[in-house]
Every structure is written in structure tokens, then in C-alpha cells.
Amino acid sequence: MHKTYILENEQLKVEATDLAASIYQIYLKDQDKLLPMLSTPENYEKFAENTLSYGRTIGRTAGRLYRSKDVDQYVDFKGEPNYMHGGPKKFAGKIFSVKKHTKDTIVFELHVPHLSDGFVGNLNVLVTYRLFQGNLIVWHQAKTDQDTLLNMTFHPYFNLEQSNKLDHHELKIESSTYLSQNEDKIFTYENDVAGTHRDFTQFKPLKINIDNQLDDIYLLPKDRFSATLKTQSIEMKVFTNYNALVVYTQNKSNNTDLVNAKKEALYTGVAIEAQKSQKDLNVLKHDRIYDHYIMYNFKKI
């Protein structure tokens, strides 16, 4: 059974769990109130049962990894045509150990033996969550003894007002380029967002339907500021040294109820996930350290 942990400072309170080194809920403090920031399953039992990766650490590879000559040297797909979010033995289903836990910081650790999840290399992973003022800092570190594929992400779904729709949220993304797939479904092409429903270079309401739903990879500039999500009363900014941002508007129904919606409801939260670009073959060399962060800044406006 997974265990839960609390992080807290003067501005934020966070509920974490060792299942997939996850964040179950983020609260912004407003005088004597706790304001939930995440769309998340209704309770911890449903969190464990849910299949849409709410708040979980994703790996070894985020997104859908397809077989190719280059990929096959790093992955044994065991006859599968692709692996989604790391395959059948992905990080999202594993219990991490806790290396450190203080009032405002927790460090989760995972050792993944060579080929135990289909990927080559013995991999050691650290996932750190730290609170600093109004910021939740997510830090991904890893080391391998063989060259291997690694593209981790943190997968939170945001609903800053806990409604069952995103209509009152506005989003701005610091990117004018998104990726699209070739005939083999590999993300190959870089496209300009201008003239498409993916254009969030200026603030735009998230009034989502089947014609404008998002499940897209945006390429990021190098200035580390990547996106802003806001309502009339709360603003969240996202910073990262990852080079891509995936934005997903929960286009599939859930297998469990959520704190803010029933399981059949669509578009009840927006996942904003920083990761490496899926256009690239993301190889972690045996003599290098994987070292990436995501920072979510919350404030009342």
C-alpha cells in the first residue's frame, strides 16, 4: 500500500505519495483557507486505480515511443508496437522509496534494473519536490551504467477553481511552434501555431470542445519561462529547463471520479507537463547525469 507525505510552508501545502513519486494535491493558502489547485481522483484509493496518470512521475519515456532501428538498440518491446509513458512496467506504477523528507522537501528514489522494464541499463532515479515561497519545484535526476533512453515528466492536471470545466481559465504558452507526426507516427515536423487552435501566444480562454482540444507538444525557448495559466483570482506560471511542454486537456473520460467532476466528464483539467522533445531520440549517456527541473509558481491576483 502506498504511503502519503505532507510538504508545507507559509504559502503552499502539498500532499505527496510514494506511488509513482506523485503529487496528489497542491493547496494555495489564502488566509485560513486551503485552495486546491489540481484536478485529481476523489481519494487515494481512486488515485491508485486511475489510468490517466494524475500527478504521477512518468518514465522511462514520456509519450508514445515507437519501434525503429534507432530505438530498438535501447528497448526490448517484447512484441509490442510501441510503449506508452514507459510501457507495462513504467514508473507510474512503481512504489518509490523515500530518501529524505523534511517539512518542505521530499526526495523519492527508484532503482530500475537492466531490462526489467524493457529498457537497457541499470537506472537510478531521484525525484525531488521542494516548496519555496509560492513555488513547487520538481527536480528530476538520474544516472545509468549503460546508454539508455530517458525522458521523464511530472503529470499534474490543473483546475485552479475546482469547477468541472476549464471555461474560466486562460492559458498563454511561450511558444509559437508545435510538433506533428509523420506517416510512421513519429514526431518529425515543426509547425507554426499561427492560424491554428494551438495558438496560445496570447492569453486565450480554455473553452474546449472536440474541435479545439489539446494534446500537443510545444517547443520551448531557452529563457526557462514556458506558460501561464490563470483564472480571475489565481495565476500559475511554469518555468523549466526542459525543451518542450505538453499540454493535454483531458480529452478522455476517466475510470474513477475526480474531486471536481464525475468520471464520464471531459475537459475537467489541463495537464501541463515539461519534458524533452519527442522529436529527438533522448539518450542518457552512461557518463552523464540527467538533471532537469520544473517550477510551478502560484499566487492570488
Q: Are 205 and 267 in contact (CB under 8 A)?
A: no
Cis peptide before 288 (omega within 30 of 0): no
- Give residue-wise pLDDT tens across range 173-220: 999 999 998 887 789 999 999 999 999 999 999 999 999 999 999 999
pTM assigned to the model: 0.97
Is the Cα dihedral 86, 89, 93, 96 positive or negative?
Answer: negative
Q: How far apart are CA 228 and CA 230, in angstroms?
A: 7
Q: Which fold has domain 4-300?
A: Beta-galactosidase; Chain A, domain 5 (2.70.98)
Confidence of residue 223 (pLDDT cuts 50, 70, 90): confident
Mean pLDDT rounded to a whole number for the chain? 97
* Phi then psi dihedrals of residue 218, to 5 deg: -100, 135
Cα R_g (the chain), whole angstroms: 18
The per-residue pLDDT for 127 is 99
What residue spans define the domains of the chain? Answer: 4-300
The per-residue pLDDT for 231 is 98
Across residues 250-275, what is the average pLDDT?
Answer: 98
What is the number of other CB atoms lying within 10 angstroms of the CB of residue 189?
Answer: 11
Beta-bridge mates of residue 187? 181
Element (H or E) spanning 71, and its range? helix 69-72
The per-residue pLDDT for 185 is 77
Q: How far apart are CA 290 and CA 138, in angstroms?
A: 13
CA dihedral 186, 123, 283, 78 (to 10 degrees): -40
Which residues lie below 8 Å from residue 249, measured CB to CB, with a gap of 6+?
Answer: 166, 206, 208, 213, 214, 215, 267, 270, 271
